[in-house]
Chain A
């Protein structure tokens, strides 16, 4: 019976996907026939001259920024530059044209034979925001957008249908109460265990990242002022940023395992680089971390604050340099005062979101048997042993049931004498329902979700959307790249500063007030629709916010894919030429060339839809735990599902509408 309904849902989803993908393709085919007819008609009219579209390229946009063309239409782009030399590239067409100032260059004729949204991208480095100099071409009629809308609604419908059958403690068909004990898997398990219990593993993982970090720091201050030619920008904001999102999904807080930022502070406090000091006492004042800071507020606001200057941060090496200087000095100060990893827990902006999203990860460090831990008096996982330190993240690993504050340093795997700690592979969202129902006053975690969720949509829009004013406001209208020597070039104009203020109000306001208010309204409505009278609206609101954890993680994955497939050449080149001075250390110099950019929306859509399904199903699981009733939970999650679907539609609109 259960298998049957799972099968039927799977069939519906697959059918929807095929239908959705088939629509634009058949559109394309019928259009080809149409083109042939038109072609003959046109020949008869003897008016076969292609349409000419004039474009002005200027730092950092094309005018017009949204270009409408008809399917099958023959187009010539007549391009000129208003300032410096630009390049011209269209997704899916092999043009890499140079547009020097003072010249008018014709590109084409090009026949647009597929519907949908394509991007014009600048192909010649033209300044700091060059990688984000894009415009949209809409090939109309745009069958892709309605097809994507249809698919999104279909996904919402299918997921609702699925949860209406009352799957207990499951996520999209996979049971949540089952997991795989990775360290007991045949062959792999014992090897992995040996590696993780080796004292040197932490140091061995941190060291290469420390090396890379030092190169980041030096290139940020002294390297090429143009972002995409500088190691610090290309490696951190393209490679690292994208990789971390995938790491969160597959390996939880693995980044925190290998992160070099707190290493100096920790080594100093331990007086050991890799071993366990025989005294097992920290070289530290051992002050108590203030209770009011023992949460996620600093990381949440830190991430928002960083995002408010993100057009500068990811394009000006010196800004990145100062951020990382702060991030390496802070733990060095905090570690000797408070001992342990309070910087990572409650200060680091990346640590905050990585930790929170890790609750949607498929990997976790947990104990095998809780009663064994509770009965065990010595508790080396807290106090430490000659084999390993007590939890540096101030947890009781034996009782830990969430990933938020577990930094995956593997110390408990080493210190546990009962072999009771292990790595577990589980389905996405195992801990969410439990976490959500316990969240009585955890506004910090809710707002972390709102901030991360709003910002992924903002990032997609500001970096890969056509709206130049939005980019320009965030960028304060500045056209210069900067390293330490030329930092003065970043002095903003009054106009730039006031525009930035507008941008900060829009972005910050949406993340802090706008979206949370909308979320509150929907959760209130969900509570009413469910007919719940026991819980305070605040409780429902906070609990339901945890469904955003897997959702925004998947939206970030969709964003990360764009970032990497379009700009992969920059980080690879940066490894050969970290300072952007023309070196070729490793022979990895590559010309910029996006990978299948015309198929990007098709890659992004399934990721967004899986995120949507996870959000709806998580809401249901949370609601079941909260209300203890299937019918109420179903009604509530349908209402919340409408909001989540709306958000998916906004994202879909950005990539295809």
Chain B
């Protein structure tokens, strides 16, 4: 085998190896959530699963008084509801087929509780979280 041929072999094998590394790197896809699920500064994505597989994500939502926020509600498994007690947020049903976006401007400081309002699993009543309005 002459030098030129050796170099071509090396080149092709290296390209192939690089491609394999790229493919294997796809295993780390879950780490790219921030890139592929872009969030606007005033946007909060709330993913909802039955309590058994995690409940609300995030479980604590912090917003600033007087600033409008957009809550993007996504159901991961079955239909859920989203109600913040004491505030004017009451989404009757969020089906897994479609996300629901709610706009809200908090007026008063305080700590509120939000919960799921649609029977979703044996631990449905434990599916809740904290909604904090800071000054």
Contact = CB atoms under 8 A, between A and B. Distances in A.
Interface in A334-379: none
Contact of B74 (A218, A223, A582): A582
A14 interface: no
Contact of B27 (A217, A225, A272): A217
A434 interface: no
A30 interface: no
Interface string B114-128: 000011110000000
A211 interface: yes
A419 interface: no
Interface residues of A, number: 50
Contacts of A210: 20, 23-24
A124 B97 contact: yes
B16 A481 contact: no
A77 interface: no
B13 interface: yes
B129 to A, nearest CB: 18
A226 B53 CA distance: 10
Contact of B99 (A100, A223, A582): A582
A106 to B, nearest CB: 18
Interface string B50-66: 10111000000000000
Contacts of A4: none
Contacts of A273: 13, 16-17, 20
A101 B118 contact: yes
Chain B residues touching A, range? 35 or more
A592 B95 CA distance: 13
B36 A219 contact: no
A29 interface: no
Contact of B96 (A124, A223, A278, A578): A124
A36 B93 CA distance: 42
A388 interface: no
B23 A207 contact: yes
Secondary structure at the A interface, as helix, strand, loop or mixed, is loop
B119 A214 contact: no
A579 B49 CA distance: 14
Contacts of A214: 23-27
Given A84-B119, A229-B96, A583-B37, A218 B12 contact: no
Contacts of A592: 97
B77 interface: yes
Contacts of A229: 76-77, 96
A604 interface: no
Given A273-B17, A275-B13, A489-B53, A101 B30 contact: no
B89 interface: no
A114 to B, nearest CB: 28
A278 B95 CA distance: 60
Contacts of B96: 124-125, 226, 229
Interface of A: 83-85, 98, 100-102, 124-127, 200, 203, 207, 210-211, 214-215, 217-219, 222-226, 229, 267, 272-275, 278, 479-483, 485-486, 489, 578-583, 585, 591-592
Given A84-B78, A85-B93, A485-B54, 8 more contacts: A100-B93, A125-B78, A214-B24, A218-B26, A225-B49, A273-B17, A581-B47, A583-B36
15 contacts: A98-B95, A125-B77, A211-B26, A215-B26, A223-B30, A225-B77, A226-B77, A267-B20, A273-B13, A273-B16, A273-B17, A275-B9, A275-B12, A479-B121, A581-B47
